[in-house]
Amino acid sequence: MPALPLDRLHLETDAPYLFPKNSGARRGHNEPANLPWVAAGVAELMNREVDEIIQACTANSRRMFNLPGT
């Protein structure tokens, strides 16, 4: 996974019953508010900083959905 280009990465929480295991919670409903946990897991797998993953995915989502930047 470290070879995955950051400009091609997009994070989602589309599996409502697959709560992120790294959150520390035993159960819950998966929702967009859990994306930081998903980003943390991806960052660990890619050996990168969480903020780098979050920034790249935010930029990719803006580009993919033609959303305005800030």
Q: What is the pLDDT of residues 19-44, one digit of tens each?
A: 777 877 767 778 888 899 999 999 99
- Identify whether 1 is part of a domain: no
pLDDT at 17 over 80: no
- Identify whether 69 is part of a domain: no
pLDDT digits (tens, 9 = 90+) for 44-64: 999 999 999 999 999 999 999
pLDDT at residue 70 in the model: 60
- Identify whether 53 is part of a domain: yes
Question: Domain tally for the chain?
Answer: 1
Q: What is the mean pLDDT of the chain?
A: 87
Where residue 6 falls among pLDDT bands split at 50, 70, 90? very high
| Residue the block writes with tokens 């959150």 | 23
Domain that holds residue 36: 6-64
Phi-psi region of 28 (alpha: psi -120 to 50; beta: other; left: phi over 0): left
- Identify whether 57 is part of a domain: yes
Report the distance separating Cα 4 and Cα 46, nearest Å: 8
